[in-house]
């Protein structure tokens, strides 16, 4: 047992002190037992002679086997004990000691049984502090692979998702906020509604939120749901509700009823303050719908919203993705994307790059290659980061349309743009695509350069085999 404790308490100085005391007591007991079974004086003399011999000629074996690591004054204590006729080793602890120690153990156990490991609601409310923004667990943020099938087949999908126009700035995130003053740089914040009636067990929304976030932070998502929903009921502005829904999504994923999760995602889509958050939430919605088999439910929900308001950009934003990913209907998806693009169009401003890119991809799925290529060429100069990729997409579309000259021309513009740098995998796809187009267009030298870089940017065996085969063909054309 002591050896096992050594592994756990090796760095604790108190453990080594107690271990030393235990060794001393063990030696005293061993000496006493030896003295009672024979001549104690003779044993004491032998012990002293061994100690003296060990001081003159150190022996590790002798020291370790006889327990002679203690100092001289401890040896004197052992010898004094051996020569003390009054000292006896008891075979068992005295009855009084057993009774007293047993009663103490029972009293300690009874006292510990009265201690609750769960803090009272009020204490938790006073001690817990809400996080600025609850972070979704990594497992909760992972999108369902099958729901992202179209993004996998087209690696830029996640980076170029179209988003509707950003909503007006929300008020500060508190349960009760005053309307923000109107300034040229900041749109007016929404005026909080009338304070709701409090029929919950919490003093106010802030208290409920603190308790809910404390449980959320401890990953007690089922227990967090009740106080968070109470906070949602007591909240009187949308920015505050947005924070609550962010945490509630972790609880809603665990219940059979899908409606609360759909409602939370819809609220987030309609009140997110950034395009990135809106795009991520749409991907969450697609994954959740795929996992639960809710493709028809999602489509019907947002078709109904669109029927009520033909200019509902969020409904179009969701339907464009739902028809493409969940329903595999690129024609219907492109219809929704065109309508969204028309609403986003503002006189004197460039077209929305992300929405246009999605429309072009949907047209490729319908084999409308020339129209898709024209859109890719239109948006390629508008975003420096995506320029090389969009020129590459235009080149691929022209090649699929059978116009290799336009394909090579677009590939040259792609190669001249800022290289694809968003990820190593995207860089591989970019180099590989334009390398293959250069090879098909009779430009083997350019093909070799890009195919070699494509090989250097991946270790996936299938990709390597394809690129090496194309590279060998390109090098053979150089001879």
Residue 420 has what pLDDT?
A: 94
Residue 402 has what pLDDT?
A: 96
CATH assignment of 384-479, among 1.25.40.10, 1.10.357.10, 3.30.450.20, 3.40.190.10: 1.25.40.10
CB atoms within 10 A of CB 206: 18
Write the pLDDT tens digit of every residue in 456-465: 999 999 999 9
- Of 35-44, 62-71, 406-415, the range with the highest mean pLDDT is 406-415
Residue 91 has what pLDDT?
A: 57
Residue 146 has what pLDDT?
A: 39
CA distance 163 to 328: 20
Sign (positive/negative) of CA torsion 102, 104, 107, 108? Answer: negative
Query: Which of 126-130, 254-258, 320-324, 467-471 is predicted least confidently?
Result: 126-130
CA distance 157 to 155: 6
Phi, psi for 460 (deg, rounded to 5): -80, 125
Write the pLDDT tens digit of every residue in 400-449: 999 999 999 999 999 999 999 999 999 999 999 999 999 999 999 999 99
Q: Do the domains 173-178+200-273 and 384-479 sit in the same CATH topology, yes or no?
A: yes
Residues 192-219, mean pLDDT to the nearest whole number: 77
Confidence of residue 472 (pLDDT cuts 50, 70, 90): very high
Residue 418 has what pLDDT?
A: 94
CATH number for region 147-166+274-366: 1.25.40.10
Residue 15 has what pLDDT?
A: 75
Residue 327 has what pLDDT?
A: 95
Q: To which residue do tokens 């980061």 refer?
A: 385
User: Does residue 354 have a pLDDT over 50?
Assistant: yes
Confidence of residue 194 (pLDDT cuts 50, 70, 90): low
**Cα 120 to Cα 116, 124, 127, 226, distances in angstroms:** 9, 6, 11, 15
Query: Which of 1-15, 18-32, 153-167 is predicted least confidently?
Result: 153-167
User: Does residue 192 have a pLDDT over 70?
Assistant: no
Confidence of residue 108 (pLDDT cuts 50, 70, 90): confident
Residue 251 has what pLDDT?
A: 92
Residue 340 has what pLDDT?
A: 96
Which of these, 281, 220, 278, lies nearest to 254 by C-alpha position?
220
Burial class (CB within 10 angstroms; exposed 0-12, middle 13-18, buried 19+) of 384: exposed
Confidence of residue 51 (pLDDT cuts 50, 70, 90): low
User: Does residue 93 have a pLDDT over 90?
Assistant: no
Kindly report whether the global pTM for this prediction surpasses the value 0.75: no
- Residues near 291 by Cβ (< 8 Å), separated by ≥ 6? 144, 147
CA distance 415 to 435: 10
Write the pLDDT tens digit of every residue in 123-174: 444 444 444 445 554 444 444 443 444 444 455 454 444 444 433 333 334 4
CATH number for region 173-178+200-273: 1.25.40
Q: Which residue has the higher pLDDT, 178 or 405?
A: 405
Where helices occur in 84-204 by DSSP H, the ranges are 95-113, 121-127, 138-141, 149-153
CA distance 287 to 148: 7
Query: Which of 65-79, 260-274, 298-312, 338-352 is predicted least confidently?
Result: 65-79
Question: What is the pLDDT of the chain when averaged over all its residues?
Answer: 79
Query: Which of 74-83, 98-107, 434-443 is predicted least confidently?
Result: 74-83
Write the pLDDT tens digit of every residue in 362-395: 999 999 999 999 999 999 999 999 999 999 999 9
Q: Which residue has the higher pLDDT, 147 or 257?
A: 257
Q: In the chain, what are the domain boundaries?
A: 2-88, 147-166+274-366, 173-178+200-273, 384-479
> What is the percent of the chain with per-residue pLDDT over 90, rounded to a whole number?
49
Residue 173 has what pLDDT?
A: 41
Query: Which of 79-83, 319-323, 406-410 is predicted least confidently?
Result: 79-83
């Amino acid at each position: 047992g002591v050896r096992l404790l050594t592994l756990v308490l090796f760095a604790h100085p108190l453990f080594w002190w107690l271990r030393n005391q235990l060794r001393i007591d063990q030696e005293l007991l061993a000496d006493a037992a030896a003295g009672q079974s024979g001549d104690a004086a003779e044993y004491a003399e032998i012990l002293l002679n061994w100690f003296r011999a060990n001081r003159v000629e150190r022996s590790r074996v002798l020291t370790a086997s006889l327990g002679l690591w203690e100092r001289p004054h401890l040896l004197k204590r052992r010898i004094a004990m051996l020569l003390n006729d009054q000292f006896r080793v008891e075979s068992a602890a005295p009855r009084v000691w057993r009774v007293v120690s047993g009663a103490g153990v029972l009293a300690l156990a009874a006292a510990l049984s009265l201690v609750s490991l769960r803090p009272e609601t009020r204490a938790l409310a006073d001690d817990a502090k809400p996080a600025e923004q609850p972070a979704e667990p990594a497992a909760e943020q992972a999108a369902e692979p099958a729901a992202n099938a179209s993004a996998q087949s087209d690696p830029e999908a996640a980076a170029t998702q179209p988003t509707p126009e950003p909503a007006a700035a929300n008020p500060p995130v508190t349960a009760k906020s005053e309307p923000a003053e109107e300034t040229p740089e900041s749109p007016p914040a929404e005026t909080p509604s009338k304070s709701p009636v409090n029929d919950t067990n919490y003093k106010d929304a802030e208290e409920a939120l603190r308790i809910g976030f404390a449980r959320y932070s401890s990953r007690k998502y089922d227990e967090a749901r009740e106080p968070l929903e109470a906070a949602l009921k007591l909240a009187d502005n949308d920015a505050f509700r947005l924070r609550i829904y962010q945490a509630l999504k972790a609880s809603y994923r665990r219940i059979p009823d899908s409606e609360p999760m759909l409602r939370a995602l819809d609220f987030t889509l309609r009140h997110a303050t950034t395009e990135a958050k809106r795009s991520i939430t749409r991907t969450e919605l697609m994954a959740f719908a795929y996992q639960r088999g809710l493709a028809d439910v999602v489509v019907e929900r947002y078709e109904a919203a669109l029927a009520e308001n033909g200019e509902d950009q969020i409904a179009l934003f969701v339907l464009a993705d739902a028809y493409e990913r969940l329903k595999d209907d690129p024609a219907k998806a492109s219809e929704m994307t065109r309508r969204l693009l028309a609403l986003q169009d503002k006189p004197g401003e460039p077209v929305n790059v992300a929405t246009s890119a999605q429309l072009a991809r949907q047209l490729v799925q319908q084999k409308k290659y020339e129209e898709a290529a024209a859109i890719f060429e239109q948006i390629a100069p508008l975003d420096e980061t995506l320029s090389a990729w969009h020129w590459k997409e235009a080149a691929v579309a022209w090649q699929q349309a059978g116009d290799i000259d336009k394909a090579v021309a677009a590939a040259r513009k792609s190669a001249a743009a800022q290289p694809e740098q968003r990820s190593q995998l995207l860089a591989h796809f970019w180099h590989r695509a334009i390398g293959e187009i250069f090879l098909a267009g009779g430009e083997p030298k350019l093909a070799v350069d890009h195919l070699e870089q494509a090989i250097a940017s991946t270790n996936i065996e299938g990709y390597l085999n394809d690129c090496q085969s194309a590279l060998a063909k390109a090098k053979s054309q150089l001879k």
